Structure 1
């Protein structure tokens, strides 16, 4: 059985550990797992392999990319009867996520986890500014100004910033705050709709944060995390996949930080996020017993996804795990477990989703906003221009 994935680094190490355990318990199944480069290299390989019927038996994709890989032609559907025969049931998954696994009433994906933009905080620095509850968790704030007051107090302590973030990944912050304000972005074949006022409001938050020096004017993914580790910022807004990096940095004190959902800026804790999911690439023909072995693998991995959540920081999509006592006692994971209900997927269009062009091309614009090189008004105009250009392009998998 061949498995393809795009999980490297700490994620890849946890996945390898799980694969070793699966193989030890299933001597009758020969698992061959291959990791390809994250993003475009992986999706290009998947589409090319599936178009010839010669891809892997199972692959890990982002659920936001499901429609962009043309599931009706490049993926094999899965039946609910097959899942139930392997111990899985639709009720085992969050309804909102489960619904996104279908295209034209056919099930094409099995969700592995939810991963999202969350809010990490340095417990010692937050204690110094009075930002912790008696239980030692971050106090709740409401609205932009209340949270900015925390960042201002933190900046006085750190001498540099209040929070760190990835200025090249600004789409994540933008989409979180735009969706908190109930902003919608819908697409038809040749047109789209978005709320300019709410989009501008989200971008103005980003600009103001940088203008006050509450966040760095530039930080890529590595610098973003380093600012938090070296005490240049008391907070960092980054994905829950960084949890192991920060634990390892703490050495003998892995609990030097904690994490919670994105702050309530506009009445809720909505945040940008996605799901890793299993799909079955199109097969010219399934070898004898291979499909059964593949579904057994998927079922086992989901039922044992506590390891994935504890090791990789992602919130398992399999509810018997996340609702179980062992996971609910897991720290700091349980503190942000509610993020599953607040995850906002990227807009439903072929150039959107994880590692897609909308994320990359708007990222360059938001980077200029954080660098104070572009006003919010100009940024919004440029974003709309990029969207219109992308919308005019043909869908490459049509």
Structure 2
């Protein structure tokens, strides 16, 4: 396991050893690659420019929109109800690279939030860039937490250089949605109205054929037009079900180590499903949902967060299940939302205050779970309330075999890596690019990133 020397304490001012020219210019480069600071929200500008806040106020940044944003606001309101209206200043910023660039800039400028949200796959590059404070066992214990309070998969995944770098809120896996009316006609429901076991490639392909006979067209939809993340999630799920595959990236993103035979197997299989009429050739994100919602397809694969959309469709009878194991072992692409402590000077009281905010949010994980995410906080996951929640309880076991994106400064959810690879995988599904050529293009396009040291 790689170790790092002790970090110097943060100091303020241009001569601070904690803010090197490399980190400062690297952060600027990241911001330039996404969005400029022009048009930042007022709280962000206040953080960077140094306006004073009440020392009892927790400053919290997140990137949640849509239904997640509404639920996070409810959880923030829960914190304010306990600690007072002025106890929290929460800011929501643009999802993806813009968010992480602004968080980095604020931290190297010595004005980060007290607590922030990060995808687990984006926390590791932040840590490697010196942007995060470790979270010690003492920090956890100060608010009555321990590592045993968290699901093992995301908890073990966040440990880096022997340190805890993030506290997982959830796991959000790629998931199979199914239209019950279509699947019933295809003979794929059991006596309880749940999807039958579809383990094994032959079994799953037979199910696709049965559904196609019912719909008179496609059986499964996977968005791939003007959409790059979904093709990546689909590929990474099936790729990791093949025993013995190598990481796509190694050496913190400096090496492309993808198993070429496995890559070609998955992408060729994808094309064969399109050619047989089972899988859509080209659908955007919204239409891929609509096909399943309206019974034009029986299966739809997407992140479990689309549960809210499905539940909003009047008359839709749908279910959710883990992605079936089609190859040698269960695996599903996933990420986790986590809480992080951006690097800054903190008194013991300020550390405990930040940890108490995190603990209070974890205690409201049931609100979060209603939006589809699988709780990482064990007391919530094991509660009778969550274990009886439908359809969440049916796909929740897939969190135990979640597979995260490989660590790279340009990788993780909403990243340059996913954009680059997902775009080529989408073209494979559309039939405009052969698998061998897609792999070649991916290597060529990633070369500039693999040969460039992290700017952090």
Aligned positions of 1:240-255 closer than 5 A: 240-250=304-314, 253=315
Q: Could you tell me which residue of structure 1 aligns to residue 262 of structure 2?
A: 198
Structure 1 position 289, deviation (Å)? 4.3
Structure 1 position 379, deviation (Å)? 1.7
User: Is contact 2:127–2:165 with CA below 8 Å preserved after alignment?
Assistant: no
Q: Could you tell me which residue of structure 1 aligns to residue 250 of structure 2?
A: 187
Tell me how large the CA RMSD over aligned residues is.
1.8
Q: Could you tell me which residue of structure 2 aligns to residue 358 of structure 1?
A: 417
Q: Could you tell me which residue of structure 2 aligns to residue 349 of structure 1?
A: 408
Matches of 2:144 and 2:217 in 1, distance apart? 52
Greater shift, 182-191 or 125-134, is seen at 182-191
Greater shift, 345-354 or 257-266, is seen at 345-354
Aligned positions of 1:224-303 closer than 5 A: 224-250=288-314, 253=315, 256-283=317-344, 285-286=345-346, 289-303=349-363
Cα deviation, 1:74-130, whole Å, max 9, x if unaligned, reads 112221112122121101112232122222222221000000101011111111110
- Of the three residues 57, 63, 78, the one matched with 2:114 is 57
Matches of 1:197 and 1:355 in 2, distance apart? 26
Structure 1 position 340, deviation (Å)? 1.2
Matches of 2:115 and 2:134 in 1, distance apart? 12
- Return 5+ residue gaps in structure 1 as ranges: none
Matches of 2:86 and 2:144 in 1, distance apart? 18
Matched, 1:171 2:232: yes
Cα deviation, 1:278-311, whole Å, max 9, x if unaligned, reads 001122x33784432221110011122011012x
- Of the three residues 212, 225, 229, the one matched with 1:155 is 212
Cα distance change, pair 198–36 in 1 and its aligned pair in 2 (3 A)? same
Matches of 1:124 and 1:289 in 2, distance apart? 56
- Of the three residues 181, 194, 203, the one matched with 1:124 is 181
Q: Could you tell me which residue of structure 2 aligns to residue 88 of structure 1?
A: 145
Q: Could you tell me which residue of structure 1 aligns to residue 27 of structure 2?
A: none
Aligned positions of 1:302-317 closer than 5 A: 302-310=362-370, 312-317=371-376
Matched, 1:106 2:169: no
Cα deviation, 1:246-295, whole Å, max 9, x if unaligned, reads 10113xx57x1110100111033311001000001122x33784432221
Matches of 2:149 and 2:365 in 1, distance apart? 13
Secondary structure, in 3 states, of the residue corresponding to 2:172? strand
Matches of 1:44 and 1:226 in 2, distance apart? 34
Secondary structure, in 3 states, of the residue corresponding to 1:273? strand
User: Is contact 1:29–1:293 with CA below 8 Å preserved after alignment?
Assistant: no
Q: Could you tell me which residue of structure 1 aligns to residue 393 of structure 2?
A: 334
Matches of 1:71 and 1:325 in 2, distance apart? 39
- The normalised TM-score by structure 2 is 0.82
Matches of 1:6 and 1:273 in 2, distance apart? 17
Matches of 1:231 and 1:293 in 2, distance apart? 50
Structure 1 position 232, deviation (Å)? 2.0
Matches of 1:152 and 1:14 in 2, distance apart? 39
Structure 1 position 171, deviation (Å)? 0.9
Matches of 1:294 and 1:28 in 2, distance apart? 16
**How many residues were matched structurally?**
392
Cα deviation, 1:190-239, whole Å, max 9, x if unaligned, reads 43422111111111121112222222222232222222222221110000
Q: Could you tell me which residue of structure 1 aligns to residue 73 of structure 2?
A: 16
Aligned positions of 1:350-389 closer than 5 A: 350-389=409-448
- Return 5+ residue gaps in structure 2 as ranges: 1-57
Secondary structure, in 3 states, of the residue corresponding to 1:137? coil
Matches of 1:389 and 1:212 in 2, distance apart? 37
Matched, 1:207 2:267: no
Structure 1 position 243, deviation (Å)? 0.6
Secondary structure, in 3 states, of the residue corresponding to 1:76? coil
Matches of 1:232 and 1:6 in 2, distance apart? 34
Structure 1 position 363, deviation (Å)? 1.4
- The normalised TM-score by structure 1 is 0.94
Aligned positions of 1:30-49 closer than 5 A: 30-49=87-106
Matches of 1:302 and 1:196 in 2, distance apart? 41
Matches of 1:40 and 1:321 in 2, distance apart? 31
Matches of 2:201 and 2:348 in 1, distance apart? 58
Matches of 1:371 and 1:42 in 2, distance apart? 31
